[in-house]
């Protein structure tokens, strides 16, 4: 089984969360905050900010480590570190992502009660995240190990 270390950014701008849509017909269709694999000796917070820029064109600043997520999927086992991040600048542009195999087709800013239909990952974005955001992410949360399948 392959193991991956990944980091993502929970970027908030004026009460809206940045999400990207990963879509390939018949294989997967889901929304998630930007993020991806750590490269070389890159620090995890830098991974989250780099991946955000690569996937969306948005510049952010990772602030606090909010969640540690453990996933097992068809590709292996992944530990994902989710950072709360503040928007710095930029406009959404998903056309410059160097990782074309990710199949990111769109991105947007979403309010708590206007998240996109369908699968949103991680699941806590439909609830607990917003409470943690309101409380300033008082403590790091370790999410339970989950087996993930790609929704179509």
pLDDT (mean) for 66-95: 94
Return the minimum-mean-pLDDT range out of 79-83, 116-120, 124-128, 144-148: 144-148
CA-to-CA distance for 129 and 53, rounded, in angstroms? 22
Q: Over pLDDT 70: what percentage of the chain?
A: 97
Identify the pLDDT of residue 34: 98
Identify the pLDDT of residue 30: 93
Q: Over pLDDT 90: what percentage of the chain?
A: 83
Q: What is the pLDDT of residues 3-15, one digit of tens each?
A: 999 999 999 999 9
| CB crowding 119-150: b at 16 or more within 10 Å, else e | bbbbebbeeebbebbeeebeeebebeeeebee
Name the pTM for this structure. Answer: 0.94
Distances in whole angstroms, Cα of residue 120 to Cα of each of 2, 20, 46 = 24, 10, 24
Q: What is the pLDDT of residues 47-67, one digit of tens each?
A: 999 999 999 999 999 999 999
Identify the pLDDT of residue 100: 66
Confidence grade of residue 145 (pLDDT, cut at 50, 70, 90): very high
């Amino acid at each position: 089984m392959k193991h991956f270390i990944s980091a993502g950014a929970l970027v908030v701008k004026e009460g809206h969360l940045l999400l990207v849509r990963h879509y390939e017909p018949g294989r997967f269709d889901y929304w998630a905050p930007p993020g991806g694999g750590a490269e070389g000796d890159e620090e995890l917070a830098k991974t989250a900010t780099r991946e955000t820029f690569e996937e969306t064109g948005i510049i952010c600043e990772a602030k606090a480590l909010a969640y540690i997520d453990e996933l097992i999927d068809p590709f292996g086992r992944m530990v994902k570190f989710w950072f709360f991040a503040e928007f710095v600048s930029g406009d959404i542009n998903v056309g410059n992502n160097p990782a074309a195999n990710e199949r990111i087709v769109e991105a947007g800013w979403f309010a708590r009660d206007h998240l996109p239909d369908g699968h949103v990952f991680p699941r806590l974005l439909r609830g607990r995240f917003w409470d943690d955001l309101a409380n300033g992410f008082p403590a790091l949360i370790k999410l339970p190990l989950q087996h993930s399948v790609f929704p179509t």
